[in-house]
């Protein structure tokens, strides 16, 4: 009896979490116009918890949302040693969705081009992005969905602040430099903790990355640890930082390209009126 009740509670919690994540994804899609009628969305599936969750939620939205759009799933097999090539085809075949597995030995190239002690991420991400962009054009997909979440966005903000001297994060929607691809991030409002919990409850066949996720002393991991500590000390702080990215006040920063500080001056008439009032009104301490 207790086992049955526990099972039902677990199902209820999973449904509750799914509704929360689906609501946040739906809101992000609406707020930023990520998916429109007739779109062909290429879902980039890495085999990690984030992209599995994104695919799950997009399939659910496709079935219930009033917008008609197509989904095609793509995984890039980078020929990393020990990569279980059978996992994703088996999983996707059971889902009944269109999918493609691209085989490109970027692993060897990344290892050859990355100096000893340096992170593989810059080279790996550029190569991966180029391959995915090219394939999206080949199959006629006009949107590429990536599984970055709210915590990724805030981490990227601080990486750029601390190590790059720039106030820059991950946008919810981005057009490629050549204008031929649009990248969307449907998990833009979702917290990593919720995604991790949902992924565990759903039992996705997680495939670990032994490139970017396996190196010691990564700058991103340092930032991640810092933000986790902040959130433990002051719950809601990371979410507040994420909200600040949607409420930018250029006049209170220092970028002259975004705000014309050079031409900023007081209005002549307003200044004169203010001086007149000050001249004829004595300080309160001098009034009888």
113-137 pLDDT per residue, tens = 666 656 656 656 777 888 899 999 9
Count of residues making up the chain: 288
Residue 262 falls within a domain, yes or no?
A: no
Q: Which domain holds residue 40?
A: 2-252
Full-prediction pTM beyond 0.75?
yes
69: domain CATH number?
Answer: 3.40.50.620
Residue 67 falls within a domain, yes or no?
A: yes
8 Å CB contact between 227 and 171 = no
DSSP string, 156-183: HHHHIIIIIS------SEEE-TTSS-EE
82-110 pLDDT per residue, tens = 888 899 999 999 998 999 999 887 777 76
Name the CA dihedral angle for 112, 118, 124, 126, rounded to a multiple of 10 degrees. -110
Q: Is 240 exposed, middle or buried (0-12, 13-18, 19+ CB in 10 A)?
A: exposed
Residue 273 falls within a domain, yes or no?
A: no
Residue 108 falls within a domain, yes or no?
A: yes
8 Å CB contact between 131 and 38 = no
Residue 238 falls within a domain, yes or no?
A: yes
Residue 262 has a pLDDT of: 95
**What six digits make up the tokens of 6?**
């526990």
Residue 134 falls within a domain, yes or no?
A: yes
Beta pairing partners, 100:
74
Residue 283 falls within a domain, yes or no?
A: no
8 Å CB contact between 220 and 158 = no
The residues of the chain scoring below 50 in pLDDT are 213, 216, 275, 285-288
Q: List C-alpha distances in Å: 11 to 5, 191, 196, 233.
A: 10, 20, 16, 31
Query: Structural domain tally of the chain?
Result: 1
Residue 287 has a pLDDT of: 47
Residue 271 falls within a domain, yes or no?
A: no
């Amino acid at each position: 009896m207790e086992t049955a009740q526990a099972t039902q509670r677990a199902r209820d919690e999973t449904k509750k979490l799914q509704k929360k994540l689906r609501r946040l994804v739906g809101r992000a899609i609406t707020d930023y116009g990520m998916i429109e009628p007739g779109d062909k969305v290429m879902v980039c599936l890495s085999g990690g918890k984030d992209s599995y969750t994104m695919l799950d939620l997009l399939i659910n939205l496709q079935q219930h949302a009033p917008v008609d759009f197509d989904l095609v799933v793509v995984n890039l097999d980078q020929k990393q040693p020990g990569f279980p090539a059978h996992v994703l085809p088996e999983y996707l075949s059971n889902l009944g969705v269109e999918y493609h597995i691209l085989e490109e030995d970027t692993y060897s190239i990344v290892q050859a081009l990355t100096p000893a002690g340096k992170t593989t991420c810059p080279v790996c991400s550029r190569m991966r992005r180029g391959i995915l962009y090219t394939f999206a054009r080949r199959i006629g997909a006009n949107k590429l969905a990536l599984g970055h979440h709210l915590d990724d966005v805030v981490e990227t903000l601080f990486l750029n602040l601390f190590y790059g001297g720039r106030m820059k994060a991950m946008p919810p929607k981005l057009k490629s430099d050549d204008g031929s691809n649009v990248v969307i991030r449907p998990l833009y409002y979702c917290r990593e903790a919720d995604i991790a919990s949902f992924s565990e409850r759903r039992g996705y066949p997680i495939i670990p990355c032994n490139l970017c996720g396996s190196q010691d002393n990564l700058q991103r991991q340092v930032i991640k640890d810092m933000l986790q500590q902040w959130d433990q000390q002051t719950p809601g702080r990371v979410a507040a930082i994420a909200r600040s990215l949607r409420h930018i006040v250029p006049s209170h920063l220092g970028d002259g390209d975004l705000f014309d500080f050079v031409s900023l001056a007081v209005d002549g008439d307003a200044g004169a009126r203010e001086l007149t009032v000050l001249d004829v009104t004595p300080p309160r301490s001098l009034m009888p």
